[in-house]
Amino acid sequence: MTGRPLLFFCGDLHNLGDLALLLQNLEAAPRTRRLYVRRWAALPEEIEAQVAAAGGTLVSGRGTALQALAFRSDIVIGGGQLVRGNVSLASLVTQLIACLAARGGGGRVETRGLGVGRITRAVPRLLWRLLLRLAPVVNVRDEASADNAATLVGRDRVRLTADMAFLPSRLHARAAADTAARHILIAPCTDPGEDRAFNGPGLPLLAAALARALPDLPIAYAAHDPRPGMDAQAAEALAAHGLAGRIPTHGWSLSALLADYHAAALVVTNRLHAIIFALLAGRPVLIVDDGNSKTAAIAARFAIPSVSLIRNGEVSAAVDAALRYDRAVRAETLAAMARASAANIAPPETSA
């Protein structure tokens, strides 16, 4: 890419998983370039401070100022599950115009570790097709995303890399300083819009299995989205089913959230980036299977046990299997994923 400013299109920074992806992008960027981050909605001061500390300048995604900035910038889209059918048309049109402005001003459009969903509605599908075709290659994080992206831009324009969260960074290294296991960490994801849920008749079985396997450790909860009514509310609901524990106390601090992962004897989750944070922390992880293809793919790649709370599977055996994972094999897989993630920031013609 050129010496122009970099303008990043990222996920919703209210979600600390998306914040982690952005901070890793900012860390990997050349220090000689100005770094801008498009935001669509207002953000907590704590989030803004973390972006600023990483060298990023937040800019509004609304109005003509974005297009003027885009005209003199290169644009980076990703990582994260950004290509979705439920993105507002106003936001999507604004992104498309910004990318057209960047190209019109002599800049480039780059993609990194995108999650690409199935887009069935005609207008969003057309807009995403136009936008993604402005990039020389569409870098995607998993096989399902590769298949979905191929329907938009053609298979020859799609490159399978890995989630940007696997990219080695100072952020994960700082959190790794605390390695004492202090709790069982539960990171629930509830999203009716994506049919995501951490519930079912198997919840009491899960509570009993955790108490049997790790009897001396309390439960703590991780909130990837600390807004009212989001993850903390899900934690409160789970407490009613025998999973009482510490409601999240890390607030909007990503480093504090990651420290909770490094202090976990076991991570239990149905959230993709919770799984990745557990893997990066070298901690055992158990996946709650809610039918999502993202978690199914990573479960298969890392041989992570999963359990359905709907079908009342063998929960106790799954907890035991999660605690007995093969550290050497997992470390090798992590190294391979780190290399694949690094391909997101390498030109297609020079990457492996």
Are domains 6-160 and 173-336 of this chain identical in fold? yes
The per-residue pLDDT for range 240-283, each reduced to its tens digit, is 888 999 988 889 999 999 999 999 999 999 999 999 999 999 99
The CATH fold of domain 173-336? Rossmann fold (3.40.50)
- More reliable by pLDDT, 230 or 269: 269
The per-residue pLDDT for range 149-163, each reduced to its tens digit, is 999 999 999 999 999
The per-residue pLDDT for range 110-152, each reduced to its tens digit, is 999 999 999 999 999 999 999 999 999 999 999 999 999 999 9
Mean pLDDT for the chain overall? 92
pLDDT at 177: 60
SS3 137: coil
One-character DSSP codes across 35-64: EEEEESS---HHHHHHHHHTTEEEEESSSH
Q: Residue 79, preceding bond cis, omega within 30 degrees?
A: yes
Is the model's pLDDT at 179 over the cut of 50?
yes
Is the model's pLDDT at 351 over the cut of 60?
no
List the alpha helices (DSSP H) in the chain.
16-28, 45-53, 64-71, 89-104, 122-132, 143-153, 170-175, 203-213, 231-239, 254-262, 272-280, 293-302, 315-323, 327-342
- More reliable by pLDDT, 13 or 237: 13
The CATH fold of domain 6-160? Rossmann fold (3.40.50)
pLDDT at 173: 76
Once rounded to an integer, what is the mean pLDDT over residues 297-305? 95
Residue ranges of domains in the chain? 6-160, 173-336
